[in-house]
Amino acid sequence: MRTAYTSDQIRAAEAALMATLPEGTLMERAATGLAVVCARMLGGVYGSRVVLLVGGGDNGGDTLYAGARLAARGAGVDAIIAGKRVHEAGLEALRRAGGRVTGLPGGEAATPATTPGPVAGNLAGAPGDGVTGGDTVVGGAVRDLIGAADLIVDGMLGIGGTGALREPYATLARLAGDAPGEVVAVDLPSGVDASSGQVEGAAVRAGATVTFGAWKTGLLVDPGAGHAGRTELVDIGLGPHLPEPDAVALTDADVVALLPRPGASSDKYRRGVVGIAAGSEHYTGAAVLAVGGALRAGVGMVRYAGSAEPVAQVRAHWPEAVITTLAPGEGVEEVGRVQAWVLGPGLGTGDEARAIARSVLAEDVPVLVDADALTLVAQERSLLRRAAPVLITPHAGELSRLTGVPRELIEARSLENVRRAAAELEVTVLLKGSTTLVAQEGRPVRINPTGSPWLATGGTGDVLAGLAGALLAAGLSGYDAASCAAYLHGIAGRRGPLAASDVAEALPETVRSLVNGLRQGRSPAKLER
């Protein structure tokens, strides 16, 4: 399991570790790991051109020491001093190794800790000579250095950076993004909030991020995850000092360990019976896809309940399903015993749908509430107050209707809002989006690492609902069922372009590949990234 932490948690762990070590030990460990990754990205270090974007904090020191190691191996290294202060010992180490410094008055650094900011000296250009950002003009010489670099190392800001980048950081971030060379971020990309993944304005978009000690939550959640690129963790010894994680991401091994497997004494009832109340005269496909997702997940039995038209479609597509036709206004009381329900895909929001929703939520088994049923419970939130567990699977718009928080704010602050919704509604929440999140009060948020933009097509959410419902019926908690379903769904949806039915069809092979890949020492999730 990949555990992630907020910036405050990381700072506290670093302070506890540093109290037990000689001064400079952590920076030495971080710089060594960073230099190794940079060398690997360059392929051949000797003769390569490396530009360091250096801030005034510890990240700047890590960057300078790593640059010194690369310069000692024959790379041409230029450090652009972006902050008003600079790590003095790191700067000296770079110079001794043959690195060059830009951004200090006259190119010299007699008193690095108090050196004026980057608008002085070589970083500043004449008006019209460079790239303008706010009140800062970054000179043509700096622009040329960045544009010619084989590797750009972003060490401007660390985990303490919050809010929009100020100048000259914002302009340097844009220049790095426009340059043809590889970009590696130190600990996390400048402009990304370490605790939330929020990005306000310009931010470095890295091909790789080298993070130290532990994962930062913001590296796993979009938009931050999208700016981080491939992320590599350098162990600097924080482990014994880390608290309970802020968030976690499951791995292949975690999912395989959680997935229910039939034993010698299993029968269809022991493997789980899931009820599905979905579809309507207007949206028959939702029922077909939800049932397909459940069946392809390997559930013991699907009991489908719906009106005449979706019943006909489900029967034609899935003869394995046990089907009950509901009369107008009729509930699910006569459907038969199930271990969990899936409620809502394509159900509609009229009186007939409301009668079905009330009857399902009156049952004493776990219920997954999706799509139209989320609209119904938003209108009548008392339906969620029940003894048995509830898992809701909204996108941002649906969660907005449930909580009253504007959609754009949910999308901008997804971690904060998924936690709040789980606590306020007293349910497990699977929030769909570019990063799918699973929240349950009192537990770390689970961040799904396997999502794919190919899943942004109609009907894939119905498949996900059926898949998660099948896992609920097989005995997983809402927290585990939602996490495993999102993980499998993400892998199954990676081979695009595809339709929703393709995702359902891919589920059995996805599970087989996951299990067999672990036995053979490989990972389908990693191979597809």
**141, 172 in Cβ contact below 8 A?**
no
**438, 432 in Cβ contact below 8 A?**
no
Beta strand pairing status for 445-447 and 437-439?
antiparallel
Look at residue 522 in the predicted model and tell me its pLDDT.
Answer: 67
CATH number at residue 298: 3.40.1190.20
Same domain, 221 and 282: no
Same domain, 234 and 275: no
Six-digit token string for 15: 């302070």
Q: Which domain holds residue 342?
A: 266-389+442-528
Does the residue 415 lie in any domain? Answer: no
Look at residue 525 in the predicted model and tell me its pLDDT.
Answer: 57
Does the residue 419 lie in any domain? Answer: no
Sign of CA dihedral 236, 239, 244, 248: positive
Same domain, 279 and 200: no
Same domain, 224 and 343: no
3-state secondary structure of 436: coil
**313, 284 in Cβ contact below 8 A?**
yes
**64, 42 in Cβ contact below 8 A?**
no
Same domain, 282 and 219: no
Look-up of token digits 């996805």: 510
Angle value at C-alpha 307, between 302 and 312, nearest 5 degrees = 70
- Per-residue pLDDT tens digits of the chain, which is 529 residues long: 999 999 999 999 999 999 999 999 999 999 999 999 999 999 999 999 999 999 999 999 999 999 999 999 999 999 999 988 899 999 999 999 999 998 733 333 333 433 333 333 334 333 333 333 433 457 788 999 999 999 999 999 989 888 899 989 999 999 999 999 999 999 999 999 999 999 999 999 999 999 999 999 999 999 999 999 999 999 999 999 999 999 999 999 999 999 998 777 777 778 899 999 999 999 999 999 999 999 999 999 999 999 999 999 999 999 999 999 999 999 999 999 999 999 999 999 999 999 999 999 999 999 999 999 999 999 999 999 999 999 999 999 999 999 999 999 999 999 999 999 999 999 999 999 999 999 999 999 999 999 999 999 999 999 999 999 999 999 999 999 999 999 999 999 998 889 999 999 999 999 999 989 887 776 655 544 3
Q: What CA–CA distance (Å, rounded) separates 312 from 72?
A: 73
**332, 304 in Cβ contact below 8 A?**
no
Six-digit token string for 114: 């108090």
DSSP 213: S
Same domain, 276 and 245: no
Helices 140-148 and 169-178, axial angle in degrees (round to 10): 40
CATH number at residue 222: 3.40.50.10260
Six-digit token string for 472: 């609920």
Which DSSP string do the residues of 95-137 spell out, in sequence order? HHTT-EEESSGGG--SSGGG---TTSGGGB--TTSSEEETTEE
Does the residue 360 lie in any domain? Answer: yes
Which bin fits 120, alpha (ψ -120 to 50), beta or left (φ > 0)?
beta
Six-digit token string for 314: 């489900």
Kindly report the pTM of this predicted structure: 0.89
Q: With b meaning 16 or more CB within 10 Å and e meaning fewer, what string describes 20-36?
A: eeeeeebbebbbebbbe
Q: How many CA atoms lie within 13 A of 527 on its CB side?
A: 13
DSSP 395: -
Structural domains in the chain (count):
2
Which DSSP string do the residues of 295-346 spell out, in sequence order? HHTT-SEEEEEE-HHHHHHHHHH-TTSEEEEPPTT--STTS---SEEEE-TT
Same domain, 59 and 16: yes
Sign of CA dihedral 182, 187, 193, 195: positive
Does the residue 520 lie in any domain? Answer: yes
Look-up of token digits 């719906």: 306
**Which of 201, 219, 249 is the last residue in one of the domains?**
249
Six-digit token string for 266: 């299993």
3-state secondary structure of 430: strand
Does the residue 417 lie in any domain? Answer: no
CA dist 259 to 292, 449, 494, Å?
Answer: 18, 17, 20
Same domain, 162 and 302: no
Six-digit token string for 253: 């091994």
**Which of 196, 220, 249 is the last residue in one of the domains?**
249
Residues 6+ apart with CB under 8 A from 36: none
Same domain, 240 and 380: no
Same domain, 293 and 326: yes
The terminus-to-terminus CA distance of the chain in angstroms comes to 17
**190, 41 in Cβ contact below 8 A?**
no
Same domain, 235 and 316: no
Report whether the peptide linkage leading into residue 22 is cis, meaning its omega lies within 30 degrees of zero. no
Helices 396-403 and 414-425, axial angle in degrees (round to 10): 50
Does the residue 256 lie in any domain? Answer: no
Look at residue 262 in the predicted model and tell me its pLDDT.
Answer: 79
Q: What CA–CA distance (Å, rounded) separates 16 from 241?
A: 7
Six-digit token string for 310: 């979706």
**Which of 196, 218, 249 is the last residue in one of the domains?**
249
Same domain, 143 and 89: yes
| Residues making up the chain, counted from first to last | 529
Q: What CA–CA distance (Å, rounded) separates 300 from 262?
A: 9
